[in-house]
């Protein structure tokens, strides 16, 4: 699909779209490495590698210095640091992707699920949600999935999370085929994805915290029911608009399917 060699697959999507698990699984492909939400590396809070914490040989102050001082592209520095042929990232927001890759060397995987399912995931991390937070979440959801670049967009494909959850190894290999990545992964790799030598950061949960294992689990999808929404947003304009965008993505010719 591309005329240039692919060296960066960037996941685009909302928070709670499933990007954490998808980026780690893609990072298990031979020749690929997942950095996660890379924009946190140089944040004031100086986020650490989730796996190695203070002992990371990759995500450390040397890398932060390189990222802030060289003219080489942000993602190219990260790809070199991870010694990967193809970098996987999950910075997700197209405005962040434009900031760090203004020349658009990336290909985008636009990862989505039903906006109602996003709201349910979102509600689980809120203790006392303000009344309008669901509307705000939906507005951002629509922005992310309808973002239009000012000129030629990067190559992109839609990924429906439920497709991947049904047969994870087969679907990851399907993505690899689509982007001419020669490596493959097996069902066993999927089971043991935490054992892979990942160096990454970001996400809502720490994949190596045993208390969070169930929150980053690969489970077969269940049918979504609007009755399980935390609040009744079904008649709101934002929800109806998000549903329309969702159905457009489901029926897009650019969606990767089995």
List Cβ neighbours of 132 (8 Å cut-off, separation of 6 or more).
none
Number of residues located near Zn ion, criterion CB under 5 A: 5
H helices then E strands: how many in the chain? 10, 5
Q: By C-beta, is 80 or 166 nearer to Zn ion? A: 80
Q: By C-beta, is 88 or 165 nearer to Zn ion? A: 88
Shortest gap between Cβ of 19 and Zn ion (angstroms)? 19
Shortest gap between Cβ of 158 and Zn ion (angstroms)? 31
Q: Give residues 190-209 in contact with Zn ion (rule: CB under 5 A).
A: 199
What is the SS3 assignment for 141? Answer: helix
Give, to the nearest 10 degrees, the angle between helix 237-250 and helix 115-124: 120
Could you say whether residue 49 binds Zn ion (CB under 5 A)? yes
**Would you say 85 and 7 are in contact if contact means Cβ atoms under 8 Å apart?**
yes
Distance CA 171, CA 255 (A): 12
Could you say whether residue 33 binds Zn ion (CB under 5 A)? no
Shortest gap between Cβ of 90 and Zn ion (angstroms)? 16
10 Å Cβ neighbour count for 66? 15
Could you say whether residue 52 binds Zn ion (CB under 5 A)? yes
Shortest gap between Cβ of 60 and Zn ion (angstroms)? 9
**Would you say 183 and 29 are in contact if contact means Cβ atoms under 8 Å apart?**
yes
Could you say whether residue 113 binds Zn ion (CB under 5 A)? no
**Would you say 111 and 12 are in contact if contact means Cβ atoms under 8 Å apart?**
yes
Q: By C-beta, is 48 or 170 nearer to Zn ion? A: 48
* The Cα angle at residue 43 between residues 42 and 48, in degrees rounded to 5: 70
Q: By C-beta, is 47 or 100 nearer to Zn ion? A: 47
Shortest gap between Cβ of 27 and Zn ion (angstroms)? 12
Residues 7, 42, 56, 120: which binds Zn ion (CB under 5 A)? 56
Residue ranges that bind Zn ion, judged by CB under 5 A: 49, 51-52, 56, 199
């Amino acid at each position: 699909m591309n005329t240039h060699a692919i060296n960066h697959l960037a996941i685009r999507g909302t928070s709670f779209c499933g990007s954490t698990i998808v980026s780690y699984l893609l990072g298990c492909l031979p020749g690929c490495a997942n950095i996660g939400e890379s924009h946190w590396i140089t944040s004031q809070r100086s986020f650490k590698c989730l796996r190695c914490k203070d002992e990371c040989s990759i995500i450390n102050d040397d890398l932060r210095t390189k990222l802030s001082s060289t003219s080489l592209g942000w993602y190219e520095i990260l790809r070199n640091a991870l010694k990967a042929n193809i970098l996987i990232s999950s910075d997700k927001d197209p405005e962040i992707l434009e900031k760090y890759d203004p020349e658009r060397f990336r290909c985008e995987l636009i990862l989505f699920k039903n906006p109602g399912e996003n709201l349910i995931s979102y509600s689980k991390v809120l203790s006392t949600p303000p009344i309008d937070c669901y509307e705000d979440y939906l507005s951002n959801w629509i922005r992310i999935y309808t973002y239009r670049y000012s000129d030629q967009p990067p190559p992109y494909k839609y990924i429906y999370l439920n497709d991947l959850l049904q047969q994870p190894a087969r679907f990851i290999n399907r993505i690899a085929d689509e982007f001419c990545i020669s490596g493959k992964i097996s069902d066993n790799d999927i089971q043991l994805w935490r054992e892979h030598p990942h160096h990454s950061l970001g996400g809502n949960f720490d994949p190596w915290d045993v208390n969070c294992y169930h929150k980053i689990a690969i489970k077969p999808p269940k049918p979504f029911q609007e009755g399980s929404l935390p609040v009744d947003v079904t008649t709101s304009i934002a929800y109806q608009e998000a549903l329309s965008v969702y159905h457009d993505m489901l029926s897009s010719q650019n969606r990767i399917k089995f």
